Amino acid sequence: MKNTNIITNETPIIHISNTEKELKAKLIRNDFENFIKKCRRCRDEKDQKMLWEAFNIANLEFEGIKKNSQEFYIEHSVAVAKIVINEIGLGVKSAISALLHDIVDETDFQIDDIEQNFGAKTASILKGLSKVREVLDSQNVVQAEAFRKILLTLSDDIRVIFIKIADRLHHMRTLSAYSEKKKLKTVTESLYVYVPLAHRLGLYNIKTELEDLSLKFKHPEIYQEINSKISGSEKERTQFITNFSLPIISELDAQGIQFDIDGRTKSIYSIWSKMQKKHVSFDEVYDLFAIRIVFNPSSPEKEIEECWRIYSLIAKMYHPKVDRIRDWITSPKPNGYEALHVTVLGPKDRWVEVQIRSKRMNDLAEIGFAAHWKYKGISDKETDLDIWIKEIKDKLGDSSDSSQDFFDSFNLNIFASEVLVFTPSGEIVTLPKDSTVLDFAFEIHTDLAFNCIGAKIGRNVVPLNHVLSSGDIVEILSSTSQKPSEQWFHFVTTTKARKALNKVFNSEKIHHIETGRKIFKYLVAKNNILVDGKVLKNLLKHFSLSTKKELYLQIGNEAIAQNELVAVLKEKATDRLIKYWKLQFSDADILENIKKLNPALEVDEMKLHAYVEIAKCCNPQPGDDITGCQMVDGRISLHRADCEILNSGSGHTCQRVVRAQWTPKELMSQLYRIELSGSDRPGIANQVTTLISTELNVNIKALHFDTHSDIFYGMIDIYIANEEIIKDLAGRLQRLKGIDAVKTFKDFKDTSLNGKLVK
């Protein structure tokens, strides 16, 4: 181990005089000594010795070197250790890691030296901190991807993230000393990465401070304006909170409840965020004031009961806004937050938010899951953190998984019941697990959701029902022609989305059903279609519906087009019988005669039609009485039985007359689908339809053609009674210039193309 100069490329080395250095060193050492004396978690003599050793090593490695123009490296290390202990609530090992967190990346001090002096666990934590720094220093990693990669370091030790959050908090507190470029990078990382991490770990105070500091450096004018308005009304606000609180204090004292109460104004960032989202001024922000009541329950079992008791006492004094009650005691937030929030109407008709928490709940709210172990054993209920840690240990303990398999299967959500995604502008949106693109759209704005047709995540376009993952950057795609569908109820999970959809469909549903009923009756009468029970059953099956009301609703709201409905009614109301004609020859030795007359031909009974041609002189049609004339080359020319040319014996070289007849047969046609793709060129669609409908006389049910980036796509639904015909058709289509691929489908769900390409 050796002492070296700092080698960081983040900030220049700042040299100072020996006198200043000695004075500063003494102040820093005294500050650290006071910190250890006051540290409740550092009472053990062995722990204090290890902390001093870590301090001395860091002090020696960074001796006399400043991190910026205002602060020494060792000052920063001590400050991070203080945050880790005092503000997050971690233990001595975490404080030691905080003291040493810069030493491996910034000096020649090695991880092996750490392990030798402080053990494998501390070395492991410092490795994790280096991984996080690597991710954030990369020039090629976008913030959302950085968030994902940082989550992966949690598999090493969750304390890595706690220490890194503490490190970031102190950087933000001293950010004014850095360059504008450094400020912008730090603020952006804080909003994208550290704020959501602090939120998901329950570090609300730190989350709030990071948000406020980010706003201060990103939009200093806005920050100062809001801060000035808050400060300017401080005297009035204090008086208001006092007047509001006094009746509550009096009543809780009378009931013998042990409690603390404090009032506050909401954070600058949260006020600004509400102003942005709701497009309101500072004075119009809804519940600017908040009161927090923290009580000591008579027993752990009565926590919830006593929360509601305090609520009932307050509700007798101040009228509550019922739709603003937030019960996070019965159902805590996924990150462990527990409290009962209620908004009540206070003096001067001002709304005030009251937060009611037990001491345990408050500790969890202040320092999040770092306080989890403090209350371990009070409740036997397994928390999300317990489940998550167990999952990590199980996965890490499975030696059969490769490291890649582990990361592929690893759930990137710290708490499985939430996902965290980003808007293209960087706004963070928290949603329940299994939320979809449509849920996200409703979270942003109801009007945007009603016009939503899908989303772009990275370079991929995804549908409405695509399930989101943490770290996704989601850009909503919309169209003014899009309308909500009842099918959307299957695509959403959030209460907000369901309420919005219910509001739309409940008000319009009855009207649409009645409109649809009238349209249905009109179209049936106009087209003279007989609709019985069987037809109606087939109609519902075709549209994947269960009842007539559902059918009328979709007709009324135009989900089923009228021309499509008529086409399906006609199809279902009558059997689609088509007549086929099979050519038969009475002469049993016809194939032998063909081979005898033309030995070069490869005669195949299954391909007899290949040796038959229609005589142009009389052009016989299926159903006509016919006669066959076998030519000198073995081929057979078909004539009408009354053909004058044939009967006169002139104009042809008939070697032998053979008896032939058309045998009629009625078959039920079946629906086939043909999908085409190839290079787009003028006239290709016309060639395809001409081949199908004119040359082969096949009935087309529906078709759609589309082009994208010079690629041609086609989809055609046709009625065919013979599988050989569809094979022949596919082959002939494949031979058309520009067609690269032809696929045919028989057993597929019969859904109308309705003018759209179905993929």
Average pLDDT across the chain, whole number: 77
Q: Looking at residues 472-496, what average pLDDT do you find?
A: 87
Q: What backbone torsions phi and psi does residue 104 show, to the nearest 5 degrees?
A: -75, -40
Instruction: Using the predicted structure, report yes or no on whether residue 7 has a pLDDT greater than 60.
Output: no
Q: How far apart are alpha carbons 544 and 541 in whole angstroms?
A: 5
Q: Higher pLDDT residue, 130 or 551?
A: 551
Instruction: Using the predicted structure, report yes or no on whether residue 89 has a pLDDT greater than 90.
Output: no
Claim: this prediction has a pTM higher than 0.75: no
pLDDT at 740: 86
Q: What backbone torsions phi and psi does residue 156 show, to the nearest 5 degrees?
A: -80, -60
Which of 248, 146, 245, 154 is CA-nearest to residue 194?
Answer: 146
pLDDT category at 414 given cuts 50, 70, 90 is: very low
What percent of the chain stands above pLDDT 90? 14
Q: Looking at residues 100-109, what average pLDDT do you find?
A: 82
* H/E run at residue 715: strand 711-720
pLDDT in tens, 581-624: 677 777 667 777 777 777 766 666 555 666 788 888 887 876 67
Q: Looking at residues 534-549, what average pLDDT do you find?
A: 83
pLDDT category at 496 given cuts 50, 70, 90 is: confident
Q: Domains plus CATH for the chain?
A: 18-218 (1.10.3210.10), 230-375 (3.30.460.10), 418-493 (3.10.20.30), 501-569 (no CATH), 578-667 (no CATH), 669-745 (3.30.70.260)
* Ramachandran region, residue 327 (left: φ > 0; alpha: ψ -120 to 50; beta: rest): beta
pLDDT in tens, 616-666: 888 787 667 888 888 877 788 888 888 888 877 665 677 888 888 877 654
Instruction: Using the predicted structure, report yes or no on whether residue 378 has a pLDDT greater than 50.
Output: no
Q: Looking at residues 349-361, what average pLDDT do you find?
A: 89
Residues 375 and 385 sit within 8 Å (Cβ to Cβ): no
SS3 labels along 449-506: HHCEEEEEECCEEECCCCECCCCCEEEEEECCCCCCCHHHHHCCCCHHHHHHHHHHHH
pLDDT category at 271 given cuts 50, 70, 90 is: confident
pLDDT at 402: 38
* H/E run at residue 19: helix 18-38
pLDDT at 712: 81
Which of 497, 410, 493, 404 is CA-nearest to residue 449?
Answer: 497
pLDDT category at 8 given cuts 50, 70, 90 is: very low
Q: Give the relative orientation of helices 159-173 and 204-218 as an angle to the nearest 10 degrees.
A: 40
pLDDT category at 115 given cuts 50, 70, 90 is: confident
Which tokens hold the place of 443? 């979270």
Q: Higher pLDDT residue, 312 or 11?
A: 312
pLDDT in tens, 11-46: 444 445 566 677 778 888 888 888 888 887 788 888
Which tokens hold the place of 16? 């100072």
The string of DSSP letters for 581-650 reads EEEEES-TTHHHHHHHH-TTS---GGGGGGGEEE-TTT---TTS-EEEEE-TTS-EEEEETT-HHHHHT-
Q: Looking at residues 713-740, what average pLDDT do you find?
A: 80
The string of DSSP letters for 242-261 reads HHHHHHHHHHHHHTT--EEE
